Amino acid sequence: MVLEGLRNAVTKFLKGGSTYKDSVEEFIKDLQRELIKSDVNIKLVKELSENIKKKALEEEPPSGISRKEWFIKIVYDELSNLFGGDTTPDVEPKKIPWIILLVGVQGSGKTTTAGKLASFYVKKGYKVGLVAADTYRPGAYEQLKMLSNLSGAMFYGDQNNNKAEEISINGVEYFKNKNADIIIIDTAGRHGYGNEKSLLDEMRNISNKVKPDEVILVLDSSIGQKAFDLAKQFHETTPIGSIIVTKLDGTAKGGGVLSAIAATGARVKFIGTGEKIDELELFNPSKFVSRLLGLGDLDALLEKIKSVQDNINIEKLQEDLAKGKITMRTLYAQLKSLRKMGPFSKILQMLPTSSLPVQIKNEQLKIGEEKVDKWLHIIESMTYEELDNPDIIDRKRMRRIAIGSGTSIEDVKDLIVYYKNLKAIMKRIKRDRGILKKLGMQNIED
């Protein structure tokens, strides 16, 4: 599924040890492979990767943001564009009545979505009618009737008629007479197991007779790769105008969406995020891409970055130390790898004692085991800004961090004092370039 691949590519990119340029190239290759696998138009994939590459190599990240983090932001922006950018889908009816035909396979969530859509439009002040044209699933009629009550929409169904096409025509007429603004037709998702052709024929017949203004494909987010063929089949039968992706609240994260978009050229208008009638959201491309990349939101990105730092290797840390570089991120990585490499004081002991200020020789930098976990939680509760520039952490921020990490302000203070001590030492070490060079650490920044 496209999602797995994309998320793995992000993780690989963030954790990888290659140079920035190589990592970018590698990520773009992974991205292309995933998108093409998902049948996204090749031209589109090419365009997208060229844009990403150009920006990645030309743009300088703002201060405090690493190039890799910035790169993820670029990918995120470009993918968001692919899904429709920052524009909110247009959901207003273009004429009255506006006839919507909902299609999709069994269990995709059509009936539930019909109710949700009705509720959405009723709340907007439209007069809505629901037509029960699923004559196959026992219970679909009652379910839709119940949903029409719940949403405040009108209902039309005929349990004595098993011809979906007739019910649809009659339903539309019925609601036209009732001056409905929006008419939503719920159709069947199965025609006996495996009999897709007769289902598609039925959709075609309904569509030809009713002439809907909009055919909406309802797609279960967990469908993955199959979505392309499915969307294509429906599209060839009744051109799909838009897509609603359901069950995005579950574990599945919507891998099929890209495929469906590629197969139909239609836009995703809404997403279903639960079983309840109001659990329908207007589709927001940026938010969706966050999910797609496994980023959740910027906080989640931050979490990822932290977990990457967890994997920081000793050389990298020593390199940072040699450069006199210390931020909360370095400290976090160090705390995480304490068991592997010993405390800072131990690392610093690898340096000639003459280069160390007095503090290092006393116990000031020794961290008790029990403190480590607490401090990790504290750092995890910091914002980006605070991680890169802990000096801005005032009492107000300390309180927020303490609450967020389930610790006390005293604990936060403790950590900050420790950090400041370390920073002072690093500064001193940085100044002492001669000694560092003797240690073979040549790449010392001024």
Going residue by residue from 401 to 430, which x/- string records binding to ligand GTP, judged by CB under 6 A? ------------------------------
Is 247 a residue that touches ligand GTP (CB under 6 A)?
A: yes
Residue number closest to ligand GTP, CB atom: 189
* Nearest one of 254, 196, 261 to 220, comparing CA atoms: 254
Is 107 a residue that touches ligand GTP (CB under 6 A)?
A: yes
Is 253 a residue that touches ligand GTP (CB under 6 A)?
A: no
- Half-sphere CA count of 34, side-chain side, radius 13 A: 25
SS3 state of residue 284 = coil
Would you say 111 or 334 has its CB closer to ligand GTP? 111
Is 254 a residue that touches ligand GTP (CB under 6 A)?
A: no
**Distance (Å, whole) CA 301 – CA 61:** 16
**Sign of the Cα pseudo-torsion (322, 324, 325, 331, in order):** positive
Is 222 a residue that touches ligand GTP (CB under 6 A)?
A: no
Is 135 a residue that touches ligand GTP (CB under 6 A)?
A: no
3-state SS, 330-385, equals HHHHHHHCHHHHCCHHHHHCCCCHHHCCHHHHCHHHCCCHHHHHHHHHHHHCCCHH
Is 274 a residue that touches ligand GTP (CB under 6 A)?
A: yes
**Distance (Å, whole) CA 430 – CA 446:** 8
Is 190 a residue that touches ligand GTP (CB under 6 A)?
A: yes
- How far, in Å, are 98, 144, 157 from residue 134 at the CA level? 20, 10, 9
Would you say 246 or 330 has its CB closer to ligand GTP? 246
CB of 268 to ligand GTP, least distance (A): 13
**Distance (Å, whole) CA 45 – CA 392:** 42
**Distance (Å, whole) CA 227 – CA 210:** 26
**256 labelled as ligand-binding?**
no
Candidates 34-42, 109-117, 317-325, 399-407 — which segment interacts with ligand GTP by CB under 6 A?
Answer: 109-117
Candidates 247-255, 300-308, 328-336, 410-418 — which segment interacts with ligand GTP by CB under 6 A?
Answer: 247-255
Is 249 a residue that touches ligand GTP (CB under 6 A)?
A: yes
**Angle (CA) 305 310 315, round 5°:** 110
Where along the sequence are the contacts to ligand GTP (CB under 6 A)? 104, 106-112, 134, 137, 140, 189-190, 246-247, 249-250, 272-275, 279
